[in-house]
Amino acid sequence: MAVPANEGTEPSNSAEPLSRSLLWWYSLGALPGGMGLSAGTFLVFYYNQVLGVPAASIGLAILLASIFDAVTDPIAGAISDRTRGRLGRRHPYLLACSIPLGIVFYLVWVPPRGLDATGLLEWLIAWLLIQRLLATFYTVPYLALGAELTHDYIERTRLTTFRSYVSNIGRSATGALLLLYFLSPTEQYPNGQLNPAGYPPFAVLCGVVTATLLWLSAWKTRDEIPSLAQATGSQSWRAAMAAPLRDVREALRYPSFRALTLGVLLQYTAFGVSDALGLYMTTYFWGVSTDILFLWGVGMFTGLYMGFDLWRRLGAQLEKRTIYLLGSVGYLVSFITPYVLKVLGWWPDTDSVLYLPMYIGLTGFTAHVFAAGPTIMTGSMLGDITDLDELEMGHRREGVIFGAESLAYKMFVGLGPVLAGLVVDFSGIVPDMPPGDVPQSTVIALGLGQGVTSFVLFALSLVFLRRYDLSREKHTHVLHQLHERRAQGT
């Protein structure tokens, strides 16, 4: 039996702007991912503080899922690159995975009643693995499709900015619904995030929205299939299954791909730690309620939306690597400084009028103005690498290249919570611990765990990202050579 091979027809290289309609329908596929990011912020807290599963055990479950991802992401990319048929290389997987992903989202969040801690952990592991497999076969082709829609240096950044806007609309809306509606404070639960009744209806809503929007995005972009690169030829299943390792090994020959992959993996892991620790930090370290957390979220998303536009405009003048480095350094300084100052006792007291504005302004708004730069540049820079890969190899492998971004996203929702679970256990927080009963040593340990982990991961990422060398000039030369090759029919 044969499977599609990895030879594609050459796509045209046009700088014509993508239509706004196409941008919206394509970007709609990123909105459920943003919802998942907000939901992931609550997952460790929910299973630990609400359901009573030890944080370290939850971290182990998510680590297993992350290891699984490390294997399946390159396989999904290579299979997608080799798929042929009337639906092209990407859309068969987008359409097939959309509705099951909505169903599995619900099952992750609503375990059967009566399970003990061991049963809950087993349920989480089983459905997380299924969710990750489905997410892999949706996310990798979805990101690869974005790189195929345009090959222009600046238009790619416009597309990734659009995608980031929509993703964060989903992320912000989900956070607002959780804090203001599903987990709003009650007389029985003044800290609404501890209310077990709020999570199941949230899971129902997110499951339905996820299935609907993912399917719509795939269906509404199907008209682009004829203009995309198509796979031709065939090869044995044995050869196809061996291809992912070969493809990844070949892609890692490019210094820019190695630098970007390692840097992004480290940064997304740091973001994942911060998100997984978010409720712990607001509840125990900063001592704020869900309504203040909502205001922090407003500051965060305002910063992101302003940052997206700012960095997109700067992208017309600056190198993508420069924007990535500036944004990374700015985020690290803005986010870490408040934790350091509070641990040292140099932060305003809780009754000071400066306490909340500084907390929201620095860790929320300012940090995420800077974070917007790396967010929109990752996909744009990977897209440029796919052009270099085509020049070197003679065919397009967006699936393999964008498997790196998919894996980085999984580190956000996977390895980040693992490290967060270790920080929680290290600090001494136990399930059902009232915020007023937390000793000062635990508060300090939380702050140190958050600050040190983020600093180390970001510092290492900057070491790698400095080695990215695919400049605008080099990319223009690559496109010129590809144009000449296509004109000669070789």
Integer Cα distance of 189 and 203 in angstroms:
20
Integer Cα distance of 35 and 32 in angstroms:
5
Tell me the C-alpha to C-alpha distance, in Å, between residue 139 and each of 90, 359, 399.
Answer: 10, 34, 10
Is 1.20.1250.20 the CATH classification of the domain at 25-488? yes
* Amino acid identity, position 386: T
Mean pLDDT by 10 residues, the chain (490 residues): 42 66 94 86 84 82 77 81 87 96 96 92 93 91 89 88 91 86 85 87 96 97 88 55 70 87 88 82 83 85 93 91 95 92 90 92 95 92 90 81 69 70 81 74 88 91 93 92 79
Q: What is the pTM of this model?
A: 0.75
Sign of the C-alpha dihedral, residues 316, 321, 325, 331?
positive
CB-based contact 59:420 (threshold 8 Å): yes
Tokens, residue 179 = 């804090």
Which residues, in sequence order, are CB contacts of 13 under 8 Å at separation 6+? 151, 152, 479, 482, 483, 486
Q: Which tens digit of pLDDT belongs to each residue from 129-144?
A: 999 899 989 998 998 8
Domain ranges of the chain: 25-488
Which residues, in sequence order, are CB contacts of 343 under 8 Å at separation 6+? 444, 447, 448, 451
Q: What is the pLDDT of residue 232?
A: 54
CB neighbours of residue 114 within 10 Å: 6
Q: What is the pLDDT of residue 409?
A: 64
Integer Cα distance of 77 and 304 in angstroms:
29
Q: What is the pLDDT of residue 142?
A: 94
How many C-alpha atoms does 33 have within 13 Å on its Cβ side? Answer: 26
CB-based contact 283:277 (threshold 8 Å): no
Task: Calculate the dihedral angle through the C-alpha atoms of 255, 260, 261, 267, rounding to the nearest 10 degrees.
Answer: 150
Q: What is the pLDDT of residue 178?
A: 87
Q: What is the pLDDT of residue 414?
A: 65
Q: What is the pLDDT of residue 14?
A: 47
Q: Tell me 361's DSSP state.
A: I
Q: What is the pLDDT of residue 199?
A: 93
Q: What is the pLDDT of residue 463?
A: 94
Give one DSSP letter per residue of 439-454, joined into a string. -HHHHHHHHHHHHHHH
